[in-house]
Amino acid sequence: MTAQAILPATAQATARAGRRGAPLTIALLVCQLLLQRIAVPLGEDQVPVTLPVSLALLAAGFVTGEFRVRPGAARGVLVLWGTAFSCTLVAVASGLVPSLFSLLLVVAIYPVAGMTADLSASAVRRVENVFFGIMVVAAAVSLVQLLIQVAGVPYEDYLLRVVPVDLLQQGFNTGDPIAYGESLYRSNGVLFLEPSFVSAYLGLATALALYRGRSALLVSVLLAGMLPPLAGSGFVVLLPAVLVMAFSTKRRRNLLALAPALVIALVVALTTPLGERYVARSDEGGGGNTNTSTSLRLLLPYESLLPPSVADVGTAFTGHGAGSAEDYLRENGLSSVTAPLLPKVAYEYGILGVVGIVGALVALLAAAAVRRPWIVGVAVLFLYVNASFLQNTLVMMAFFWASFLPYDDDLDGLHPVTRADDGAYRQPPGVSR
């Protein structure tokens, strides 16, 4: 569904230009990457500036024809919204006090999951090149953040030099030591919410670079930048993509680009404290220690939220109300425990929410992963690892790359069918579909 049918000729010309140049798609990508730490106060809450900017760009793209609605995906988003509203109405009728702000976030964050950019193959390539360019700079900044600390320069959040603290998103570990008592801090690329965020985006860029058969130099820079954040997110995104490519006869040779990157990673690991710390973090799940990043993200959220989700018959089906999961964790002395998608939705929206909300999101991402196997790790990160349900940056990361940016495998010459700048699909002479 597009707005072109009701637009004059000048607007349709703008749409064609958008398909060729992708200005709003690039703006949406740049906004999510570079502005993710900026927020404006709203009462006791904060609104990330990327949220209203993204909504404005999506609306502008729909009007100009650069973006369009995907009917099937839009139905999934409507199911998600309908489930959230239905459960909230039941919660209110039961005397509970759901968070209106949380419910509005559900509405505001997920339109991207039901839309796609209507771009030519050359425009998709342009968007990917912009992404690679930004992430190369992010990788370099990540490395510099570590190296200057090794050289004796104390860690500093340089964004605070230009942005007031009350305009920065709160509640994120933007900068924290590589281990308790250490003077070295993990890199966050300055502009990313946490080290885990820059790690995840670098892992995504590396996976895409490998999938597209980009140069070993690009892959090496991106992978080297993943090391200073000392976060597993990038590897959660990258390793499934590598595994998929290893079993693909068409993609397997692309993995040769990893060879110099692995040498660089080994050198960095051996010449800095990062190697020892990565080994230590890889064993965090053992020994029964619950005060670890692995436990706080992957174990305790499920142990803490799932049992009370079904403990009471009155709330088991429709939940305790929007925004109540974090309140429950805080009231029980578990404020450091995160709330990933499944336990959060189960507690707040009950069994109906698991079916209608989690089910819709799983279906949307699974359908995308069938055509874009390199985003399997992104889906795992979104659905299982991170507290992603109402985190605008994580939602945008997942759905921008899973479904919003058009799938164009012809960019690397694997398929004869190509998409022309006017939006039509054409084939070379003598090739049949």
Largest CA distance in the chain: 68
Dist CA 259 CA 427 (whole Å): 36
- Answer positive or negative: Cα dihedral of 195, 199, 200, 205: positive
Dist CA 1 CA 115 (whole Å): 9
In the chain (433 residues long), the average pLDDT of successive 10-residue segments reads 52 56 96 97 91 98 97 97 97 95 96 96 95 98 93 94 95 83 89 96 97 94 92 93 91 92 76 65 54 71 93 93 94 88 97 98 93 90 92 96 80 41 39 36
Do 97 and 68 meet the contact criterion of CB atoms below 8 Å apart? Answer: no
Q: State how far the alpha carbon of 190 is from the alpha carbons of 66, 137, 151, 174, 229, in Å.
A: 31, 11, 18, 8, 11
pLDDT given for residue 421 in this prediction: 41
pLDDT given for residue 263 in this prediction: 84
Predicted TM-score (pTM) of the model is 0.87
pLDDT given for residue 272 in this prediction: 65
Do 195 and 188 meet the contact criterion of CB atoms below 8 Å apart? Answer: yes
AA identity, residue 130 = V
* Per-residue tokens: 382: 């979104």
